[in-house]
Amino acid sequence: MTAPTVVDQTAVQRRTVLVLSIGQVLGGIAFGATVSLGALLAADLSGDDALSGLATASVTLGAALCAIPLARLASRVGRRRALTLGNLFALIGIAVVILAAALRIFPLLLVGILMIGAGNAGNLQSRFAATDLASPKHRGRDLSMVVWATTIGGVSGPLLLGPGEIVGQAIGMPPQTGSYLFSLVAQLAALILYITALRPDPLLTAQRFARDAAAKLSAPLVIADRPLVARYAIFAIAGSHVVMASVMAMTPVHLSHMAQSAHAGHASSADVSSLVGVTIALHVAGMYGLSPLFGILADRWGRLQVVLLGQVLLAGALGFAIFANDQAGGVMAALVLLGLGWSAATVAGAALLTEASAPELRTRRQGRSDSLMSLCAAAGAVLAGVVLANFQYAGLGVAASVLVLVIVVLAPLGRTKT
Check whether the bond before 163 is cis (ω within 30° of 0): no
Kindly tell me the sign of the dihedral angle through the C-alpha atoms of 68, 73, 76, 78: negative
Report the pLDDT value the prediction gives residue 157, as an integer from 0 to 100.
Answer: 72
Please report whether residue 339 resides in a domain: yes
- Residue 60: Cβ within 10 Å count: 30
Examine the pLDDT at 53 and tell me if it is beyond 60.
yes
pLDDT per position as a tens digit, 334-371: 999 999 999 999 999 999 999 999 888 899 999 999 99
* Range with lowest mean pLDDT among 251-255, 357-361, 395-399: 251-255
Beta strands in 172-282 (DSSP E): none
Indicate if the pLDDT at residue 203 is higher than 60.
yes
Chain segment 129-176, per-residue pLDDT in tens:
999 998 888 888 999 999 888 777 767 776 777 787 788 888 888 877
When mean pLDDT is compared across 17-26, 222-231, 362-371, the lowest value belongs to 222-231
The CATH number linked to 128 is 1.20.1250.20
pLDDT single digits (tens) 266-310: 555 556 667 777 888 888 888 888 999 999 999 999 999 999 999
Would you give the distance in Å from CA 151 to the centre of its chain?
Answer: 11
Count CB-CB contacts under 10 A for residue 135: 13
Based on the number of CB atoms within 10 Å of its own CB, is 189 exposed (0-12), middle (13-18) or buried (19 or more)? middle
Please tell me the distance from the alpha carbon of residue 108 to that of residue 47, in angstroms, as a whole number. 15
Query: C-alpha dihedral over 386, 45, 244, 74, to 10 degrees?
Result: 120
220: pLDDT confidence band, cut at 50, 70 and 90?
low
**What value, to the nearest 5°, has the Cα angle with vertex 266 and ends 264 and 268?**
140
**What's the total number of domains in the chain?**
1
Does any domain span residue 213? no
Among residues 414, 373, 378, 382, the alpha carbon closest in space to that of 71 is found at: 373
CB 140 within 8 A of CB 83: no
Q: What is the pLDDT of residue 171?
A: 85
Residue closest to 245 by CA, chosen among 58, 389, 411, 45: 58
Output the pTM of the full model. 0.78
What pLDDT score does 267 carry? 54
Is the residue at 1 inside a domain? no
* Distance spanning both ends of the chain, measured CA to CA: 38
Euclidean distance between CA atoms 35 and 151, whole angstroms: 14
Any residues with CB less than 8 A from the CB of 378 and at least 6 apart, and which?
56, 57, 58, 60, 61, 64
Structural domain includes residue 387: yes
For the beta carbon of residue 285, count every other beta carbon within 10 angstroms. Answer: 19
- Residue count of the chain: 418
CB neighbour class for 228 (10 Å; exposed up to 12, middle 13-18, buried from 19):
exposed
129 in a structural domain? yes
pLDDT at 250 (0 to 100): 86
Residue 316 included in any domain:
yes
Q: What are phi and psi of 134, to 5 degrees?
A: -75, 145
Residue 265 DSSP label: T
193 with 19: CB under 8 angstroms?
A: yes
Is residue 99 included in any domain, yes or no?
yes
The domain of 402 spans 7-206+225-414
| Assigned domain for 211 exists | no
CA dihedral over 13, 60, 314, 22, signed as positive or negative: positive
At 308 the pLDDT is 98
41 vs 195, residue with greater confidence: 195
Confidence label for 385 from pLDDT (cuts 50, 70 and 90): confident
CA distance 318 to 342: 12
